[in-house]
Amino acid sequence: MNKIKIHLAIAIIGICAGAGLEIILSKFNNPNGRLIFLSVGQGDSILFQSDNYNILIDAGPHYQSEKKSTSTIIQTLRKYGVKEVDLFIITHPDMDHIGGMEPIHSRYPIKKIALNPCFKSSKKLTQIFNNMHYSQKNIFWIKDEGIVQTPSFQIKLLNPCKQFFNKRNSKNDSSLYTHISNGNSSATLTGDASSISELFNITKIKDWKSDILKAGHHGSRYSTCNRFLRRIQPAYIVFSCGRNNPYNHPHPNIIQKSKKHKILSYRTDFQGDIVFLSTPTGFRYHP
């Protein structure tokens, strides 16, 4: 098992063939974490801030308004004090997750990128990296697992890809998994993975119990199965989706299932940005 560690803002260490890679974040200021599910229409973009670091998981679509006139994520990131993105985690290269990358990078430099090597051949990604003139040396390919360490939080990345790539719906099920934790506050994000991927990985995420779960694939009925919910045991579930989207996300079955498990749910289409603050007793919703 290859384990990559990403140290932000310090030299990358521990790189050797077949071993691992480490990305370290070293700035220190505010140890309290803030996790924000940005309202980006039909797509995902989640901002995690801690110790003055900005980690962005996905970038939403290029245009967040139906008029397709503006990329509102630029204004949104400014609102949360983002001046640069220390690490950008790409779950998978669908445009509702990477469409906002170029506009973001043009305004707030993306210093490092972590993603699944199964997507090395993605034409869309290659085009975007070329347009961004992005240096390959700042891209971290998470072959198996990755660890990102800030002074206060550890972020685990899990690549479920080998089993799914080249199979039906492989891109969604190859979504990189992210687990954010400081021992008190925790969250799990799985991109657009379906329950096939959730169940396959269930033994690898034994310690991923979390306060917050982002519903897989915007609340599709093919994600967020009961066994996965019992493993994560979230207090909160977040649906990142566009208002009146044509996919019927989130599916009523998943909303119902959340209620049955007594999980509080939030939706970006109705509530806009969803903000959680870390506290000594876990992440708490911050209206």
Where do contacts with Zn ion occur on this chain (CB under 5 A)? 96, 192
| Minimum distance, C-beta of residue 44 to Zn ion, in the bound complex (Å) | 6
| Minimum distance, C-beta of residue 238 to Zn ion, in the bound complex (Å) | 14
Cβ proximity to Zn ion, 92 vs 156, nearer residue: 92
The residue among 46, 43, 39 whose CA lies nearest residue 75 is: 39
Q: Quick one: DSSP state of residue 219?
A: G
Beta bridge partners of 236: 212, 264
Cβ proximity to Zn ion, 102 vs 192, nearer residue: 192
Cβ proximity to Zn ion, 98 vs 212, nearer residue: 98
| Minimum distance, C-beta of residue 150 to Zn ion, in the bound complex (Å) | 26
Please give the Cα distance from 197 to 191 (Å, whole number): 11
| Minimum distance, C-beta of residue 42 to Zn ion, in the bound complex (Å) | 8
Please give the Cα distance from 206 to 204 (Å, whole number): 6
Cβ proximity to Zn ion, 51 vs 96, nearer residue: 96
Beta bridge partners of 53: 50
Question: In 3-state terms, the chain is what percent helix, strand and coil (to 5)?
Answer: 25, 25, 50
Cβ proximity to Zn ion, 96 vs 102, nearer residue: 96
> What's phi and psi for 216, nearest 5 deg?
-65, 140
Give me 177's structure tokens: 């998994």
Please give the Cα distance from 169 to 164 (Å, whole number): 8
What type of residue sits at position 286?
H
Please give the Cα distance from 29 to 80 (Å, whole number): 15
| Minimum distance, C-beta of residue 26 to Zn ion, in the bound complex (Å) | 32
Cβ proximity to Zn ion, 43 vs 103, nearer residue: 43
| Minimum distance, C-beta of residue 95 to Zn ion, in the bound complex (Å) | 9
